[in-house]
Chains A and B, each alone.
Chain A
Amino acid sequence: MNEFDLDQSKIRDFNAALHNPSKATDQSTWKVTNTKGRHAIAVGINSALNLQIDGHVGYYCAGMNQKANVTINGHCGAGVAENMMSGTVTVKGNASQYAGATAHGGLLIIEGDASSRCGISMKGIDIVVKGNIGHMSAFMAQTGRLVVCGDAGDALGDSLYEARLYVRGKVASLGADCIEKPMKEEHKTELKELLERANITDINVEEFHRYGSARTLYNFNIDNVGSY
């Protein structure tokens, strides 16, 4: 176990250790304490390590993550797992604005609520939120899946491309070009698999509604459907 106390070490040194290929080996275990809302913790990891973050974190925690499995035992500031490429980031508390923004891959699990702009411009990430999400979530979301077990705020999926949105509770309002779509068997299967990956076993997929793009705002071409 590699342990860092951010009252004793600089975040820069901690992040550098996480980037050091001789230390940050696959399956190595890491723990960081006294995070106290500090910014840019565990940004840019590029190996399949396991990291436990004890405490609340500031902006951009676990941004650009590749391969790593990161658990945050606390709340997150803005931009958790921003631009994540792969791996898993689990937030035990609430997340602030633009969680998982522009992320290309991996899985982001938020066990509490997420604030506004959750999954903004997502490009392939899967996001599962056990609580509610705020306004303007999945704005211009291009691909990937966003699952919300609670309610969604105003203007969900505004200017949406091909991301698929599943919401169990109420949606305050849909954004431009976002519409409700039928839940087919393939969607139920996909949703069930996502919930299982987030360790959610007590919620029935039948309770969800699916939302997607009406495809009137952008030049959707059916010939290119395979690339989405």
Chain B
Amino acid sequence: MCGIVGLFSKSNKIESQLGHYLSEMLLEMTERGPDSAGIAVYRNPTDNGHTKLTVLCPKDDYNWKKVSTDLSHHYDGEVAFEVRGNQATFIVPGSEEGISNWFNQTHPELMLISSGSTIEIYKATGLPTRVIEKFNIRELTGTHALGHTRMATESAVTTHHSHPFSTGEDICLVHNGSLSNHNRLRRILSKKGIVFHTDNDSEVAAGYIASRLLQGDDLDQALEAALHDLDGFYTFAVGTKDGFAVMRDPIACKPAIIAETEDWVAMSSEYRAISVLPGAKDATTWEPEPSKIYSWKH
């Protein structure tokens, strides 16, 4: 069991309180996933030619200023950064290319968990309430966000194994279910250059979608292909720079519900997470059908 939530703003009414509403949704999913929790939020797009990185350190009180200085030298320009808990977000003047290797070589204690122009990911082990406080999630503004509460079934309970997983620029995925062919797929995707950090099955799904998008698919096409190539049980919520999608496997064992108003679209494992949103009572609410892709774009 796991809990997943997603909130996509359609008008700008909820953007200033996106973090608050996502936190409320995540808290409702506590019982579905007490092992770890995480969120991905799409906010504050960078200027052209800049890349936003979210980096995680297992230790608290890390000297992020030093990393910022090192990044300034690497990119030969000014680097902005913001610290939340044991993570920091950097805005660097350059492309994402090679930055993962740079971190591995110069700061092996750190882990790059997202990169792109708008995405930020925050995740940790423990109950959602702890994670929300640790990273001050409630104050975050943004256009859309995904969240996950994990009850681990197939790989270890660590921060690195927590969702959301991002394996491409501005792409992330949260998953409720289990995949049975992830080892084989991981090998195939690794040969294509997709980098995986864990033995987690959901990371492979994120990598698969990233790989399809890199090949030129749009999000709907990537998910359509995933229906054929991913074997197992899944409800996925996927975020891109300007899009949000939900898909369930052909058997649809794992729960999911979607609700939509003029101001927002939300998905969750259970309705109670949607009930906390403004106007939820009168929202158009339905259960997504198996093998059907539901997507929205800004």
Residues in B with CB closer than 8 Å to A135 are 252, 290
A78 at the interface (CB under 8 A from B): yes
State whether B281 touches A55 (Cβ < 8 A). yes
Q: Which of B257, B285, B290 contacts A116 (CB 8 A)?
A: B290
A67 at the interface (CB under 8 A from B): no
Q: Which of A77, A115, A134 contacts B271 (CB 8 A)?
A: A77
Bound state CA distance, A63 and B289, in angstroms? 24
Against A, the Cβ 8 Å flags (1 = close, 0 = not) of B268-298 are 0011111110000100011101100000000
Binding site secondary structure of chain A: loop
Beta-carbon nearest neighbor of B257 in chain A: A96
State whether A58 touches B272 (Cβ < 8 A). yes
Beta-carbon nearest neighbor of B286 in chain A: A94
B255 at the interface (CB under 8 A from A): yes
State whether B252 touches A36 (Cβ < 8 A). no
| Residue count of chain A within 8 Å CB distance of chain B | 19
Bound state CA distance, A116 and B256, in angstroms? 12
CB distance from B214 to the nearest CB of A (A): 33
Residues in B with CB closer than 8 Å to A78 are 255
State whether A75 touches B255 (Cβ < 8 A). no
State whether A38 touches B287 (Cβ < 8 A). no
Bound state CA distance, A71 and B236, in angstroms? 33
A169 at the interface (CB under 8 A from B): no
Residues in B with CB closer than 8 Å to A130 are none
Residues in A with CB closer than 8 Å to B273 are 37
Q: Which of A37, A94, A116 contacts B275 (CB 8 A)?
A: A37
Residues in B with CB closer than 8 Å to A210 are none
Beta-carbon nearest neighbor of A75 in chain B: B285
| Most interface-central of A37, A58, A78 (chain B CB within 10 A) | A37
A97 at the interface (CB under 8 A from B): yes
State whether A96 touches B272 (Cβ < 8 A). no
Q: Which of A86-140 contact B (CB under 8 A)?
A: 93-94, 96-97, 115-116, 134-135
State whether A97 touches B255 (Cβ < 8 A). yes
Q: Which of A171-204 contact B (CB under 8 A)?
A: none
Bound state CA distance, A38 and B255, in angstroms? 15
Bound state CA distance, A164 and B231, in angstroms? 34
Residues in B with CB closer than 8 Å to A77 are 255, 270-271
Residues in B with CB closer than 8 Å to A75 are 271, 285
State whether A56 touches B285 (Cβ < 8 A). yes
Interface on A for B, CB 8 Å cutoff? 36-39, 55-56, 58-59, 75, 77-78, 93-94, 96-97, 115-116, 134-135
Q: Which 9 A-B pairs have the closest CB atoms?
A: A37-B272, A37-B271, A36-B275, A115-B287, A37-B275, A56-B271, A96-B287, A116-B252, A58-B272
- For the complex with contacts A77-B255, A97-B255, A135-B252, 16 further pairs of A-B residues with Cβ separation under 8 Å are A36-B271, A36-B275, A37-B270, A37-B271, A55-B281, A58-B270, A58-B271, A58-B272, A59-B270, A75-B271, A94-B286, A96-B255, A96-B257, A134-B252, A134-B289, A134-B290
